[in-house]
Amino acid sequence: MNKLPLRLLINPRAGAPGVVVLPEAGYRRARSAITSWPGYAPTKLVDLPWAAAACGVAAVRIKDESGRFGLGSFKALGGAYAVARLVGRERVRRGVDAGSITVTSATDGNHGRAVAWGAQRAGCRAIIFIHATVSAGREAAIAGYGAEVRRVRGNYDDAVRACSAAAAEHGWNVVSDTSWPGYVTVPAEVMQGYRLMVDEALAQWPAGPPPTHSFIQGGVGAVAASVSVHLRTRLDPRPLLAVVEPEHAACLLASAELGEMTSIAGALDTVMAGLACGEPSLLAWQELERGADAFLAIPDVAAISTLRVLARHGLTIGESGVAGLAGLLLAAADPAARAALNLTGQSRVLLFGTEGATDPALYAAFAAEEGPP
């Protein structure tokens, strides 16, 4: 993997003052609600000594979200919580029962599954929009929770626009993990739910020095921003945060290069389907423009190779969930990147395996590919 291309941008605005994106009171509400749900249990924090040795650092540990509420993804923490909050508000505002409420969202798989599961729990209707390249396995998994699934042409951002237009026409309630001007309340609740994953990881971190670095997946930026908020409000000094994106869907890196939130066009073609996003979330960017220390873009082969080596070590983490580790492995093998990110023999790295094999057939195909480890 040390010969693979790596784009790296050190963020010149890191540490600058900014707006409060996720207030602490909102996180306390999310934590109280989610930890009371039947079946709640913290997911595992797994030590990866082989990865630490390969990277020349003191420790590498990954939060394995493959078992979260049986949905196979950390998204259960955000989407389902936001549905519960929204349905509660709508029942009071409209004086109706949950069955009269429809929630809708666009997804590449995991968020839609979480929204569908949340709607099933709340007793409301769910309509989920997916784009052209979402796999049949992911579509079936969403439908398995009782949601109506609608496939549209184009990429993830086209599905977001189709969902928003349909919601406006029919009076449905959008539950999105991306935000835009005038639509921030629900995405903020999604992100507050994500913070529980980080809280658990810090509680599980072994006694002694805390993490010095965290490499986290990009996408629209919601999970990266949630990780950023929680780490910098809980640890002093805060760990260096590196955001990792696919090379053909690096909208956060592009925004950092420009110095303002921007979108990228095209097919956003990547095996890291959960990260195939061309438009950053407004709330996420408001945090990451000063909370992220670096932005990395990696090739698909790095994700597939990392998925395969994790599988050989007994961890079933999906193609999007391995991006943080893939970025770390590439950066640690590149002397210039290693120095820029201050990776040393004393570094301790926290990663998040944000999904398991949410499409088992697709995962098996990736895991079985021939090529370098």
The encoded tokens of residue 227 equal: 């990780």
pLDDT at 369: 64
Helix or strand (DSSP H, E) at 133: none
Q: What proportion of the chain, given as a percentage, has pLDDT over 90? A: 84
For residue 75, give the nearest of 32, 38, 36, 105 by alpha carbon: 105
**Overall pTM > 0.75:** yes
127 strand-pairing partners: 104, 148
User: What percent of the chain stands above pLDDT 70?
Assistant: 98
pLDDT on residue 3? 62
SS3 assignment, position 210: coil
pLDDT attached to residue 357? 83
**Closest-CA residue to 354 (of 323, 333, 327):** 323
- The number of residues in the chain equals 373
CA distance 138 to 110: 8
Mean pLDDT of 80-95: 96
Residue 341 pLDDT > 90, yes or no?
A: yes
For residue 169, count CB atoms less than 10 angstroms from its CB and return exposed for 0-12, middle for 13-18, buried for 19 or more: exposed
pLDDT above 60 for 234:
yes
Quickly state the pLDDT bin for 21 (edges 50, 70, 90).
Answer: very high
Mean pLDDT value across residues 214-221: 96
Averaged pLDDT score across all residues of the chain? 94
* Candidate list 63, 75, 157, 334, residue with the active-site label: 75
CA atoms of 66 and 88, how far apart (whole Å) = 28
Contact 89, 161 (CB under 8 A): no
Q: pLDDT digits over 164-210, tens only?
A: 999 999 999 999 999 999 999 999 999 999 999 999 999 999 999 99
* Structure confidence at residue 173 (pLDDT): 97
User: CATH 3.40.50.1100 occupies which residues in the chain?
Assistant: 7-73+187-367, 75-182
The whole-number average pLDDT for the span 85-93 is 96
Mean pLDDT over 258-281 rounds to: 90
Residue 373 has pLDDT above 50, yes or no: no
| 110 token code pair | 């995991």
Q: Which sign does the torsion angle of CA 289, 295, 300, 306 carry?
A: negative
pLDDT tens for each residue of 97-155:
999 999 999 998 889 999 999 999 999 999 999 988 888 888 998 999 999 999 999 88
Q: For the domain made up of 7-73+187-367, give the CATH fold.
A: Rossmann fold (3.40.50)
Per-residue model confidence (pLDDT) at position 372: 42
Asked if 108 is an active-site residue, the reply is: yes
Rounded Cα distance between 317 and 307, Å, is 7
Q: Mind giving me the DSSP string for 41-110?
A: -PPEEEE-HHHHHHHTSSEEEEEEGGGGGGTTBTHHHHHHHHHHHHHHHHHHHH---GGG-EEEEEESSH
pLDDT at residue 329 greater than cutoff 60: yes
Helix axis angle, 185-204 to 222-234, nearest 10°: 50
Distance CA 54, CA 32 (A): 39
Best CATH choice for the domain 75-182 from the list 2.20.28.120, 3.40.50.1100, 3.30.70.360, 3.30.420.10: 3.40.50.1100
Q: Which one is catalytic: 108, 293, 300, 334?
A: 108
**pLDDT over threshold 80, residue 34:** yes
Which string of b and e fits 254-270 if b means at least 16 CB within 10 Å? Answer: bbbeeeebbebeeebeb
Where is 178: in which H helix or E strand? none
Region 351-358: mean pLDDT is 91
pLDDT band at 61 (very low <50, low <70, confident <90, very high): very high
72 Rama sector, left if φ>0, alpha if ψ -120 to 50, beta otherwise: left
Question: What confidence category does residue 370 fall into, taking pLDDT thresholds of 50, 70 and 90?
Answer: low
CA dist 13 and 223 (Å) reads 20
